[in-house]
Amino acid sequence: MATTETPLIPQHNRWLILALILVAGWLIYLLSGVLMPFFIAALLAYLGDPLVDRLEDKKLSRTLSVSIVFVSLFITLIVALLLFIPLLNEQLKALFEKLPGYIDRLQTALSPVMQSLGLSQEVFDLETVKTAFKDYWAQAGKVAGNIVGYVSKSGLAVMTFLTNLVLIPVLTFYLLRDWDILVGRIKELLPRRYQEEVSYLAKDCDDMLAGFLRGQLMVMLALAIIYSIGLTLIGLDLALLIGVIAGIVSFVPYLGLLVGILLAGTAAYLQFQEWLPVLFVIGVFSFAQLIEGMFLTPRFVGERIGMHPVAVIFAVMAGGSLFGFIGVLLALPVAAVIMVMLRHAHDRYVKSQLYS
């Protein structure tokens, strides 16, 4: 005689849980602007909690461990901003100054190809693009000169920014200090008969999130450094800018490789007017891809992600479209949790009578 499996959630409670989830999503949508510093602080606390736990294992108190991790985290962020923002600003400035010349070179290189294909140069009206960038750069000085007036007219926006700037470190410290307590309180709210099952799901979700957030951030940082150093050795003027862009988009497998080769290869050809530097660019990104596949991904990520690149792209675009910047921050964690739930639901379905 076949045995019936007890459902994880009784039928009469499922609609209530669904309603609560919908209400929570609606509230997040309404309060997305207010909740941004809380989400960022929670993300930083989640990333820092394993480091705090390791320090606690060395017989340090929770408060002292949190203080060490907190200070180290924000000193690292501040130093990174102070070092990289001026460099990126200089490269952006150089890009806008040299872009009209690059466009002239590109137009010269494309003209024979377009003539051989019987295409008119009006199809690719690069002269309009060059004029637009010249006008934009000419207006940049005027905008900088009027920045004081702009700030005075946007007092509310500036006040909100400064408030968030103060709130994020404060919220991060308190969330990091009480992280284990908060997790324990949530666990206490679970009915006893569901605790084991939910704890298993929570651990699976945590492994998935760790792969995305902790592991992938390390891979992105390492790739950005490798790309930037390699392109600098080639002599590319925009090495840091392109390296950072390629490192950021590398959270989607092979996207950073393709975007980096396209941007750096184009920049190398326009700068040097030779194909050999383009081959060097391909060599840099191929070397970085080998390092990622052989060391970075196995070391920091492993096989914990399991999300298809198409799913990653869709999650980020959908999150940004629905909830803006907050949606982008939450897209991958939410998608990872949904994947864990779907995988668990699939396993239960295979074991149920419906499958037989």
Q: Could you read off the pLDDT of 211-266 as tens digits, one per residue? A: 677 778 888 889 999 999 999 999 998 888 899 889 988 877 777 889 999 999 98
Regarding whether 264 and 135 lie in a shared domain, the answer is no
- Winning range, highest mean pLDDT, from 38-47, 158-167, 187-196, 300-309: 38-47
Please give the C-alpha separations between residue 207 and each of 42, 201, 272, 285, 303, in angstroms, as whole numbers.
17, 10, 46, 29, 10
Regarding whether 209 and 66 lie in a shared domain, the answer is no
Regarding whether 181 and 62 lie in a shared domain, the answer is yes
Rounded to whole angstroms, the Cα distance separating 336 from 108 reads: 48
Regarding whether 215 and 89 lie in a shared domain, the answer is no
Regarding whether 117 and 55 lie in a shared domain, the answer is yes
Domain hosting 232: range is: 196-306
Number of structural domains found in the chain: 3
Report yes or no on 151 lying in a domain: no
Q: What pLDDT shows up at residue 304?
A: 52
Rounded to whole angstroms, the Cα distance separating 23 from 17 reads: 10
Regarding whether 177 and 66 lie in a shared domain, the answer is yes
Regarding whether 209 and 174 lie in a shared domain, the answer is no
Report yes or no on 160 lying in a domain: no
Task: Give a three-class secondary structure readout of the chain.
Answer: CCCCCCCCCCHHHHHHHHHHHHHHHHHHHHCHHHHHHHHHHHHHHHHHHHHHHHHHHCCCCHHHHHHHHHHHHHHHHHHHHHHHHHHHHHHHHHHHHHHHHHHHHHHHHHHHHHHHCCCCHHHHCHHHHHHHHHHHHHHHHHHHHCHHHHHHHCHHHHHHHHHHHHHHHHHHHHHHHCHHHHHHHHHHHCCHHHHHHHHHHHHHHHHHHHHHHHHHHHHHHHHHHHHHHHHHHHCCCCHHHHHHHHHHHHHCCCHHHHHHHHHHHHHHHHHHCCCHHHHHHHHHHHHHHHHHHHHHHHHHHCCCCCCCHHHHHHHHHHHHHHHHHHHHHHHHHHHHHHHHHHHHHHHHHHHCCCCC
Please give the C-alpha separations between residue 285 and each of 122, 234, 260, 265, 317, in angstroms, as whole numbers.
34, 12, 7, 10, 26
Rounded average pLDDT over 45-49: 85
Q: Could you read off the pLDDT of 105-134 as tens digits, one per residue? A: 777 766 776 666 665 555 455 556 556 555
Regarding whether 97 and 204 lie in a shared domain, the answer is no
Give the pTM. Answer: 0.68
Regarding whether 330 and 280 lie in a shared domain, the answer is no
